Structure 1
Amino acid sequence: MISDPLVLSVILIAIMFAFLISSLWIGVSLILTGIIGMLLFDHNLPPVISVYTKIGDLLASSLYDALNSWSLAALPMFILMGEILYKSSISTRLLNGLKPWLNYIPGGLLHVNVVACSLFAAVSGSSAATTATVGKITLEELKNRGYSKSLAMGSLAGSGTLGYLIPPSLIMIIYGVLSDVSIGKLFIAGIIPGLLLASLYSFYIMYKAKVDVTVTPMEEEVFTLKDKLNSFKDLAPIFSLITLVLGSIYGGFATPTEAAALGVLGSLILGLYFKSIDKEVIQNAILNTVKTSVMIGFIIAGAIFLSQVIGFLGIARAMSEFIIGLGLSPLMLILLIGIMYIILGMILEAISIVVMTLPIVLPIVILAGFDPLWFGVFLVFMVEMAQITPPVGFSLFVIQSISGEKIEAILKATFPFFILMVITVVLITLFPEIVFYLPNKMID
């Protein structure tokens, strides 16, 4: 039996990674790691209480706490909304409507990736859906029009991750449930950082277009005023859906869960309006929603059980005391945590990173003086990076499947946008008011 929480934490991390490498389900890996930790630790429990009884009590309470959450009800609703938009032609209409307005900006239609991903992220909440939907429409078309395929892939990879940052965000919902932070405040806090990152992407595209004329076609497509006015037929309904979902939250008329339900209703109405939805589309959307929601729910349940085990064994407290004993400044601490997340992003996908690390990391950053609301936005940036870091960068796989390019070429194209993401993280760390401005205004 082991009595030192720090030694036990190292053993548990090794066990957890061994389970993950073995391709065991993430939820099962988390629960088994917690059970093994309980069995290995020297509890010194009274004779009438067995460790098996304590494991059973913790497991039962964590499963109930994980799934009996009204906030978590928003998750399947936002997933369903994204699935409906993805499987209908609504996303195609969004891009067609944007073309006339972006053609005269340096970089031209390359900005479609940034703008379209930002808008689609605001109605889907999923980086996977955002990258796949926009990429299937833009990559081939941009190539055929004479635009740089490398810059198109890089901007898609970077902009596709905005699905996690621009609300509504699935990762923010999961973080809010696990950390007991207001999901509505998280949504509001992510707006300015998300727009800042999107703006940096666009500025970089404009810079590249100025210094390298080969990234854009020599002959630009001309759009008339009539074309611009006609584009409102495609854009207005989609902007209405965004206003419905986000406006109901920020205006205080609906909770995130209620707004998610409105989003599903709105996406169905749009599908009927555009005549792009049928029984098969709805069935596939519901089936994929159930699969994704059950998977995420199981992972959250396992994460909360592991979190309770870590608290019961004193691991979080011991690690906090150890790190405090190192005498690190808050900025040095957050730098080390950021590096840790970038490394984890090379081997794990986004949801796994959040649910496995949060029980250990969150108490430490709060003890160091960081606000959990700010850390939620910081963590979203970290898991965004995980989407475009090899070898388990999900967005890289999506773009590879769409473009047919080698992963090396995609990585080279994506690297500048990864650096821009790092710059944005530095900015919100040095100037946390970027995160707090809108939530404070809403409270005032």
Structure 2
Amino acid sequence: MNELAVAGLLILVLFLMLGSGVWIGLTLSGVAWIGMELFSSRPAGDAMSVTIWGAASSWTLTALPLFVWMGEILFRTRLSQDMFKGLAPWMQALPGRLLHTNVAGCAIFAAVSGSSAATCATIGKMTLPELGRRGYPERMVVGTLAGAGTLGLLIPPSIIMIVYGVSADVSIAKLFIAGILPGIMLGLLFSGYIAVWALRHPDQVPPADARMSFLNKLKASGSLIPVALLILAVLGSIYSGVATATEAAAVGVVGALVISATQGSLNWQTFKDSLLGATRLYCMMALILAGAAFLTLAMGYIGLPRHLAEWIGSLGLTQFQLIAMLAVFYIVLGCFLDGISMVVLTMGVIMPTVTAAGIDPLWFGIYIVLVVEMAQITPPVGFNLFVLQSMTGRELTYIARATLPMFALMVVAVLIIYFVPGIVTWLPQHMKL
């Protein structure tokens, strides 16, 4: 049985199991077991136990549950209200006014969260009712929030970067640094779109609030100090070389607890809820990562990655054509799987091809994050769309249509980093780690 037929059979089994409602982690392990049992001479049970233990006991992966817990703690504080109060006075003079609080708020919270859905939900808790009350068009509010929420994946610390770093054996600290400039660039693209829209539709932008003096603006911005200190503690400890990504995650958890206690939102119930929420989310991720590690091993024994790399190599694609083909592949895959599953499921097969094409794995990591961001706002399995659907009560199709301009801007961002790769690689090359 040739490799193409084997791949087709395993993909069919994969989608049948996913379609029948089997957990993603168990599906990946099941497909790997079938592949090894039928098409490899190595005992599947022995390989499964060794691989899953190795994946679960990775020290690098320790940063993941800690960053998840940090986001869960902050989700239960009044951080979003404080951020809105601190940002709003500075946005009044910009075209689009308070719509920019969606972008700026998501960018700031992304720097302490690492999760796209948590960023979208936390900022949405405040901006959706507040901007709706002030008369901003719901379509613009929802669209910009869904798009800006994806910054939680790109601006470090990012959960998806940790997953990619572990899966592709790339430095997580370098990935974090590489994500800074593309994250700022994407935020500026979103804000630029808001400004252009506002200039074209001035009648739909509510009037500005009463003017505030510069001193009063600074006073209102005092509510941003706690989150600024937390960002400085987490990212500063990594970039200065004082702490690894895992140690910085522990610093972040302590800082989040201090902020929560200072704001008066830390009690036994919120502490327990944040810990249980983080545990549930991480257990889901860990099961997916373990299953994906076993599937990667099984694919290696069957020889699929090598044959796929040879097949793609025989097509004579340029780097740009390969990147474009992979973008379409991941966007389609994002219609069925969440971001973490997409990354861990495909890295073992895709990385040999990417390496053979001479693509920098560090650059490719940021590219993957951008493409996964697109999947976050692609129905039917776009996590940010689900979050906003639950918060607004609107249909998924309405939210997806409102988010289309943000999707187009992400395509522009991918093109920019392809033609100007220094946006990704310049900072990691000039910082000592």
Q: Distance in 1 between matches of 2:48 and 2:175?
A: 28
The match for 2:349 is 360
Q: Distance in 1 between matches of 2:95 and 2:278?
A: 39
**Residue by residue, what CA displacement relative to the aligned partner does 1:379-429 show, whole Å, maximum 9, x if unpaired?**
111111111001111111111111222323212211011000000001111
Q: Distance in 1 between matches of 2:302 and 2:259?
A: 51
Which runs of no fewer than 5 residues in structure 1 stay unpaired? 46-50
Structure 1 stretch displaced more, 348-357 or 80-89: 348-357
Say if 2:80 and 2:125, in contact at 8 Å, map to a contact too: no
- How many Å apart are 1:226 and its aligned residue? 4.1
Say if 1:148 and 1:215, in contact at 8 Å, map to a contact too: yes
The match for 1:48 is none
The match for 2:177 is 188
Letter of the 2:4 counterpart: L
The match for 2:117 is 128
Is residue 2:135 matched to residue 1:137? no
Say if 1:208 and 1:215, in contact at 8 Å, map to a contact too: no
Is residue 2:30 matched to residue 1:32? yes
The match for 1:283 is 272
Q: Secondary structure at the match of 1:427?
A: helix
Q: Distance in 1 between matches of 2:414 and 2:204?
A: 28
**Residue by residue, what CA displacement relative to the aligned partner does 1:49-90 show, whole Å, maximum 9, x if unpaired?**
xx4xx2122112211220111111001110111001001112
Structure 1 stretch displaced more, 415-424 or 209-218: 209-218
Letter of the 1:353 counterpart: M
**What is the count of residue pairs matched by the alignment?**
433
Q: 2:380 aligns with which of 386, 391, 399?
A: 391
Q: Distance in 2 between matches of 1:36 and 1:69?
A: 25
Say if 1:90 and 1:276, in contact at 8 Å, map to a contact too: no
Q: 1:97 aligns with which of 68, 86, 100?
A: 86
Say if 1:140 and 1:403, in contact at 8 Å, map to a contact too: no
Structure 1 stretch displaced more, 316-325 or 269-278: 269-278
Q: Secondary structure at the match of 1:381?
A: helix
After TM superposition, the structure 1 = structure 2 runs for residues 185-264 of structure 1, keeping only pairs within 5 Å, are 185-264=174-253
The match for 2:16 is 18
The match for 2:289 is 300
Letter of the 2:15 counterpart: F
Q: Distance in 2 between matches of 1:257 and 1:6?
A: 40
Is residue 2:370 matched to residue 1:381? yes
Say if 1:172 and 1:186, in contact at 8 Å, map to a contact too: yes
TM-score of the superposition, structure 2-length normalised? Answer: 0.97
**Residue by residue, what CA displacement relative to the aligned partner does 1:81-111 show, whole Å, maximum 9, x if unpaired?**
1001001112221121111111111111100
Q: Distance in 2 between matches of 1:219 and 1:179?
A: 48
Structure 1 stretch displaced more, 221-230 or 169-178: 221-230
Is residue 2:148 matched to residue 1:163? no
- How many Å apart are 1:219 and its aligned residue? 4.7
Say if 1:148 and 1:214, in contact at 8 Å, map to a contact too: no
After TM superposition, the structure 1 = structure 2 runs for residues 394-433 of structure 1, keeping only pairs within 5 Å, are 394-433=383-422
Say if 1:428 and 1:435, in contact at 8 Å, map to a contact too: yes
- How many Å apart are 1:224 and its aligned residue? 3.1
Say if 1:71 and 1:177, in contact at 8 Å, map to a contact too: yes
- How many Å apart are 1:215 and its aligned residue? 3.0
The match for 1:116 is 105
Q: 1:369 aligns with which of 358, 362, 367?
A: 358
Q: Distance in 2 between matches of 1:383 and 1:68?
A: 26
The match for 2:3 is 5
Q: 2:302 aligns with which of 305, 313, 335?
A: 313
TM-score of the superposition, structure 1-length normalised? Answer: 0.95
Say if 2:7 and 2:304, in contact at 8 Å, map to a contact too: yes
**Residue by residue, what CA displacement relative to the aligned partner does 1:119-175 show, whole Å, maximum 9, x if unpaired?**
000001011110011111101110111212111111101000010100000000011
Is residue 2:40 matched to residue 1:65? no
| Alignment RMSD | 1.3
Q: Distance in 2 between matches of 1:443 and 1:226?
A: 38
Q: Distance in 2 between matches of 1:323 and 1:283?
A: 50
Q: Distance in 2 between matches of 1:223 and 1:280?
A: 39
Is residue 2:429 matched to residue 1:440? yes
Letter of the 1:23 counterpart: G
Q: Distance in 1 between matches of 2:393 and 2:204?
A: 20
- How many Å apart are 1:232 and its aligned residue? 3.2
When residues 219 and 428 of structure 1 are mapped into structure 2, their CA distance, relative to the original with a 3 A threshold, is closer
